Amino acid sequence: MAMLNKKYINRMDYDGAVGWLVRFPRNHKKDPRNFERKFFADSMFEDRAAAKKAAYIFRDKRLAQTKQLHLLDKKLHRTNNNCGEKKSNKRNTSGIMGIERNELNWKAFGAINKKTWTKSFSVVEHSERGAFKAACYERFNRHGPLRVSIKVGNFPCQIPVKYVKIRP
């Protein structure tokens, strides 16, 4: 039993009943938005710890029955940053704050005075290097030096603007 792994178990106050909510995808591959849920109220068990233990047992048993124990693997939710390294922050796909890569674009984004902005640069139109450079320039012009969290040599080309290294 993976009792140390808190994934898919949350402490909840549900309509006045306090307890543990287990919530995980029914079939991770087919439809990741379809969830199985079960609430373990403290009042139905001896105490809070007993309800928590029952929630962990239920989660592990159901994931084993549905052959989805791999969902408890912490590495599953890491995303590839398209630069050859794995990042633990799934919101950052490039290793540079405010710049991300998707299938067809390099995108620069951010917020200035609580107003968000985004600008995409097509890889087809600008080439991989051209789109990357354009996104870097756009972010730099609006927010100053880029904040880079991975090795600088892992990008399609050298970063064309001023940057600072930060810890990932």
- Which pLDDT belongs to residue 79? 39
- Which pLDDT belongs to residue 28? 58
Beta bridge partners of 100: 107
- Which pLDDT belongs to residue 121? 92
pTM of the model: 0.45
Beta bridge partners of 96: 99, 148
Distance CA 155, CA 168 (A): 16
Nearest to 123 by CA among 102, 141, 108: 102
Nearest to 27 by CA among 18, 36, 40, 16: 36
Q: Write the CA distances from 12 to 6, 8, 16, 23, 135, integer angstroms.
A: 14, 12, 9, 12, 42
Distance CA 71, CA 11 (A): 20
- Which pLDDT belongs to residue 119? 92
Helix, strand, coil percent values for the chain (each to nearest 5) = 30, 35, 35
Beta bridge partners of 66: none
- Which pLDDT tens digits describe the chain residue by residue (168 residues)? 455 567 788 888 867 789 998 887 776 555 656 788 888 989 899 888 999 999 888 888 887 777 767 666 654 443 343 444 444 455 566 778 888 888 788 899 888 888 889 999 988 888 888 998 899 899 888 888 888 877 666 677 777 877 777 765
Q: Is 91 helix (H, G, I), strand (E, B) or coil?
A: coil
Q: Which two tokens stand for residue 87?
A: 């990042």
